[in-house]
């Protein structure tokens, strides 16, 4: 007998994913960050590939990114332990604790329908102040995730430098003003009928840059020319996408693109999304260098913290950050 999806997880028709059986389209570029350095020391090939992918898709994957495999597997394993513990916790969900938010069945998405996922979110910046407010069981959680965040900060700085080079912005444009502010980790259990449910609704990231680890699992889809494109699974890669802030700074040379997660029938998807955001006091506007008579500024200037206040998408991110710093 077929297991069925509880009705509180079934989305109205217009939200349900279509064409789930269409072949995985692997067109999101996979960029090798270790590829040949030119004689002048510039890593020109990956820079060009990153720019092109960010213009065309708003998404790319990076391999040979330099992060130790152990840092990643430790993070995935400690998050797995965390979610396993929650599953055994008979008191149910822990929606708004001091420094983190764990949601399971309370995770409403649209018109009261639940997302088919569990999620853990917490602030990460300033790291030393946030760490002690993270889950303290599993006992290694704080140590392992802090090590992961430090490496993500390094990787994000490196990618932002390459983007600077590609856009012709001065080196160090984002130095000391971009922060890994939020971690959001997901567990998507296998779903008896993924055509009825969603792991995450279609959304844009309000970040500067998002760096995602998705292991070897599929489910992430990116909107391209009106079609949902699957992001291929590559356990050695990080998925990187351009957020709204970088779209603004680049005066829409780079695209922030809609994405969502569909569920799988047999596979459990685990992901770790880290959101690299501007410091709260930064003024976000198209870089002067990219604005001229032919290409006028497409966005007004706004202090990042005001953008956050105005933007509903930030609802629980902001709460998580404020709680952590309280």
Please give the Cα distance from 23 to 283 (Å, whole number).
43
- The H or E element that residue 161 is part of is helix 141-167
Buried b (16+ CB within 10 A) or exposed e, 216-241: ebbbbbbbbeeebbbbbbbeebbbbb
* Choice from 104, 197, 214, 277 touching ligand AKG (CB under 6 A): 214
Rule CB under 6 A: say whether 277 interacts with ligand AKG.
no
Query: CA nearest 274: which of 132, 154, 166?
Result: 154
Least distance to ligand AKG, CB of residue 38, Å: 33
Q: What are the φ and ψ backbone dihedral angles of 65, each rounded to 5 degrees?
A: -85, -5
For residues 237 and 62, is the Cβ–Cβ distance under 8 A? yes
Instruction: Candidates 65-73, 131-139, 212-220, 296-304: pick the segment binding ligand AKG (CB under 6 A).
Output: 212-220
Rule CB under 6 A: say whether 274 interacts with ligand AKG.
no
Please give the Cα distance from 226 to 221 (Å, whole number).
12
Rule CB under 6 A: say whether 264 interacts with ligand AKG.
no
For residues 256 and 54, is the Cβ–Cβ distance under 8 A? no
Q: Give Cα separations from 187 to 38, 129, 205, 256, 259 (angstroms).
A: 41, 26, 19, 24, 17
Give the x/- contact pattern for ligand AKG in 12-41, rule: CB under 6 A. ------------------------------
By C-beta, is 165 or 205 nearer to ligand AKG?
A: 205
Rg of the Cα atoms in the chain: 19
Rule CB under 6 A: say whether 121 interacts with ligand AKG.
no
Instruction: Name the DSSP class of 41.
Output: S
Rule CB under 6 A: say whether 122 interacts with ligand AKG.
no
* Choice from 273, 276, 287, 308 touching ligand AKG (CB under 6 A): 273
Rule CB under 6 A: say whether 54 interacts with ligand AKG.
no
Rule CB under 6 A: say whether 276 interacts with ligand AKG.
no
By C-beta, is 273 or 276 nearer to ligand AKG?
A: 273
How many beta carbons lie within 10 A of that of residue 76, not counting itself?
A: 18
Residue nearest to ligand AKG (CB): 271
By C-beta, is 160 or 200 nearer to ligand AKG?
A: 200
By C-beta, is 291 or 313 nearer to ligand AKG?
A: 313
Rule CB under 6 A: say whether 212 interacts with ligand AKG.
yes
Least distance to ligand AKG, CB of residue 203, Å: 6
Least distance to ligand AKG, CB of residue 313, Å: 9
Which two tokens mark 281? 């006091």
By C-beta, is 86 or 185 nearer to ligand AKG?
A: 185
Q: Which residues bind ligand AKG (CB under 6 A)?
A: 184, 186, 200, 205, 212, 214, 220, 259, 261, 271, 273
């Amino acid at each position: 007998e077929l297991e069925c999806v509880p009705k509180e997880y079934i989305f109205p028709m217009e939200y349900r994913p279509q064409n789930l059986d269409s072949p995985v389209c692997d067109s999101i570029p996979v960029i090798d960050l270790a590829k040949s350095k030119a004689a002048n020391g510039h890593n020109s090939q990956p820079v060009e590939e990153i720019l092109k992918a960010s213009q065309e898709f708003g998404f790319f994957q990076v391999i040979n990114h330099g992060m130790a495999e152990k840092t990643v597997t430790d993070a995935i394993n400690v998050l797995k332990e965390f979610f396993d513990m929650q599953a055994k916790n008979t008191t149910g969900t822990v929606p708004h604790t001091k420094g983190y938010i764990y949601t399971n069945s309370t995770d409403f998405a649209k018109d009261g329908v639940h997302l088919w996922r569990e999620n853990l979110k917490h602030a990460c910046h300033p790291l030393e102040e946030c760490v002690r407010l993270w889950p303290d069981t599993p006992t290694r959680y704080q140590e392992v995730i802090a090590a992961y965040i430090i490496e993500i900060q390094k990787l994000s700085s490196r990618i932002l430098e390459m983007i600077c080079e590609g856009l012709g912005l001065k080196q160090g444009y984002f130095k000391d003003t971009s922060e890994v502010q939020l971690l959001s980790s997901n567990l998507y259990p296998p779903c008896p009928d993924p055509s009825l449910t969603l792991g995450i609704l279609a959304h844009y990231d309000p970040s500067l840059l998002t760096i995602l680890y998705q292991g070897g699992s599929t489910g992430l889809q990116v909107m391209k020319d009106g079609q949902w494109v699957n992001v291929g699974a590559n356990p050695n890669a990080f998925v990187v996408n351009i957020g709204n802030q970088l779209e603004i700074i680049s005066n829409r040379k780079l695209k922030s693109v809609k994405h969502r997660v569909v569920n799988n029938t047999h596979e459990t998807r685990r992901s770790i999304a880290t959101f690299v955001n501007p410091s709260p006091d930064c003024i976000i506007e198209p870089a002067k260098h990219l604005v001229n008579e032919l290409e006028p500024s497409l966005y007004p200037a706004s202090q990042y913290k005001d953008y956050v206040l105005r933007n509903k998408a930030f609802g629980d991110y902001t709460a998580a950050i404020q709680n952590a710093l309280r």
